[in-house]
Amino acid sequence: PRVRVYLYNKNAYSTQVEYKPIRSVLVANRGEIAIRVFRACTELGIKSVAIYSEQDKMHMHRQKADESYLVGKGLPPVEAYLNIPEIIRVCKENDVDAVHPGYGFLSERSDFAQAVIDAGLRFIGPSPKVVQQMGDKVAARIAAIEAGVPIVPGTDGPVTTKEEALEFCKKHGLPVIFKAAYGGGGRGMRVVRKMDEVEEMFMRASSEAKAAFGNGAMFIEKFIERPRHIEVQLLGDKAGNVVHLYERDCSVQRRHQKVVEIAPAPRLPQEVRDKMTEAAVRLAQHVGYENAGTVEFLCDESGNFYFIEVNARLQVEHTVTEEITGIDLVQSQIRVAEGMTLPELGYTQDKIKPRGYAIQCRVTTEDPANDFQPSTGRLEVFRSGEGMGIRLDSASAFAGAIISPYYDSLLVKIISHASDLQSSASKMNRALREFRIRGVKTNIPFLLNVLENQKFLHGVLDTYFIDEHPQLFK
């Protein structure tokens, strides 16, 4: 191992960064994201190692790695990928030296990051301390305040009684949003607009949260009307350098879950973009953020923006950022974990320039004609849309694949890239129409309706978009 001293940080502290190449990466995940990481490994000449559950014995991600190992024998499908001791054992027995968590599963668990490090392996992500801090809503909000980043007014901690809820609403006014303190992924949220409904809605939301997440504690925040969801992609290294890779607009959401993502955010005034990206970098530097991460904001019509959370991991929609910047985020994650610095990788802020517009559609095996119920079974026919400006990231998208009910319903991520938003949308539209899928239902008809919507094509978006356009469901 080489030891070098860097003096890149503007705050002028010197940090010793040890460079130690990674030879073998285990991906503690499945599906398209596991394959995404294996591909980056192969391109870098690094061995890729998969784990798979019994239910995934025939799954594609297993075939795409150099080696694969069964975990969680006899366990339910999801638990296999959450079994920390077994994952560490597979690493130890097979000469693995780094672990990539992907998204979901263990990716936001600081105890997992710690267990990986304690086993003498490298964790491809931020330090356990930062994963912990960013995963704790209260701690993350405190860090944002310290870094001078605006936050949505909200309770200082989880609220458990209807009296406390009422007190907050009286003090800050309505509307508010109740969020399950232990929820996530857009689930367990409820907007309240009338004072005489606060107590009853709180009790209902809290008991739903208890049933779904095992704990009824809630956060309460001021509800921002007609917000855009805009998030900033960051990359940090071990020497304390942080750059942003511009932003994504993820306002096209169904039930607070992202459906279509765009980079960069259309019609975002340059001044707001500058302030937002600076705020995100400031927050990351404040907490000593290393590796890839995202700072999420809500932005109102006047251009005010508010921090909502940090995702201390790679996100599903990282692809659109890769398309506009030309930077491979997963390769960068691995390089940074090896001890390479951003300037060494050529990523100084002035060199990172966005080009054109990229759109990602999440094609899911859900039936839009039947309230997006999951559709499972055998994919009898599968032909994909391809061609210039189209990228496909998938795992089980081929004729003969079995779509199981055990995991999430993401079938393929389609990413289009072109010089402007309309051209990018028209490539996406054309590619979606080329798809031929029989055997399971998909949300493609719904996605096509979104792509043909005039507001979408002009980038006039906020999180009400889907709800306000019932014709999208036809």
**Least separation in angstroms between CB 198 and ligand ADP:** 16
**Cβ within 8 Å of residue 266, ≥6 positions away:** 249, 357, 421, 458, 459, 461
Burial class (CB in 10 A: 0-12, 13-18, 19+), 301: exposed
**Cβ within 8 Å of residue 186, ≥6 positions away:** 253, 255, 256, 257, 258
Binding mask 340-379 for ligand ADP (x = CB under 6 A): ----------------------------------------
256 binds ligand ADP (CB under 6 A): yes
425 binds ligand ADP (CB under 6 A): no
**Least separation in angstroms between CB 185 and ligand ADP:** 5
263 binds ligand ADP (CB under 6 A): no
Q: Which is nearer to ligand ADP, 244 or 254 (CB)?
A: 254
174: nearest Cα among 156, 157, 192, 159? 192
Residue 291 backbone class (left: φ over 0; alpha: ψ -120 to 50; beta: rest)? left
Question: What SS3 state is found at 337?
Answer: helix
Site for ligand ADP in 156-195 (CB under 6 A): 177, 183-186, 189
User: Which one is catalytic: 36, 62, 313, 362?
Assistant: 313
Site for ligand ADP in 281-320 (CB under 6 A): 296, 298, 308-309
Kindly give the pairing relationship between strand 305-311 and strand 291-299: antiparallel
Q: Which is nearer to ligand ADP, 249 or 366 (CB)?
A: 249
Please say if 313 is a catalytic residue: yes
Q: How many residues bind ligand ADP (CB under 6 A)?
A: 19
Q: Report the alpha-carbon distance of residue 150 to residue 125 in Å, rounded.
A: 25
Binding mask 215-254 for ligand ADP (x = CB under 6 A): ------x-xx--x-x-----------------------x-
Binding mask 27-46 for ligand ADP (x = CB under 6 A): --------------------
Q: Report the alpha-carbon distance of residue 181 to residue 168 in Å, rounded.
A: 16
C-beta separation of 330 from 40 below 8 A: yes
Binding mask 124-153 for ligand ADP (x = CB under 6 A): ----------------------------x-
Kindly give the pairing relationship between strand 257-263 and strand 357-364: antiparallel
C-beta separation of 20 from 339 below 8 A: yes
Q: Which is nearer to ligand ADP, 237 or 296 (CB)?
A: 296
Written as six digits, the tokens of 91 are 């690493």
The contact set with ligand ADP (CB under 6 A) reads 152, 177, 183-186, 189, 221, 223-224, 227, 229, 253, 256, 296, 298, 308-309, 463
- Kindly list the catalytic residues: 313
